[in-house]
Amino acid sequence: MTTKPIYIKTTLDVVCGKWKAVILMELVNGPLRFAELKRKLPQIHHQTLIKQLKELQEDGLIERKSYAEIPPKVEYKLTSHGESLHHLLHDMAAWGEYHLSVQKPDRYSS
């Protein structure tokens, strides 16, 4: 018996948000402010980004650092726990690339 499938669902629970993986990948290069993150992800809606960030926070993957300034400044960075996901995300990306090279990219034309 290998590791139980239930744990896979746990992992998926954490990274399956539409933008979560992308956000995490952006953050591996260092902390980013909210506005910077938004600039890197032009497609994502303001509100959606906030929600996904909050969930990532609650899962302990990223850390939110708020500076008491005017105007407000907030930085997001990976926690060490978040960094432990890095190699997995990389492997997922690698498999995804392989998958596209093998399968007809019919369903992924977006």
DSSP state of 54: H
Rule CB under 7 A: choose which of 2, 3, 29, 43 binds DNA: 43
- Nearest distance in Å: CB 96, DNA: 16
Beta bridge partners of 73: 67
| DSSP 3-state of 60 | coil
59 binds its own copies (CB under 8 A): yes
- Partner from DNA, its own copies, none contacting 65, C-beta within 5 to 8 A by type: none
Part of the chain binding its own copies (CB under 8 A), chosen from 30-38, 45-53, 69-77, 92-100: 92-100
DSSP state of 71: S
Single-letter residue type at 19: W
Ordered alpha helix ranges (H), 3-105? 5-15, 20-27, 34-40, 46-58, 80-83, 86-102
Rule CB under 8 A: choose which of 10, 39, 51, 64 binds its own copies: 10
Residues that bind DNA (CB under 7 A): 16-19, 33-35, 38, 43-48, 50-55, 64, 66, 71-74
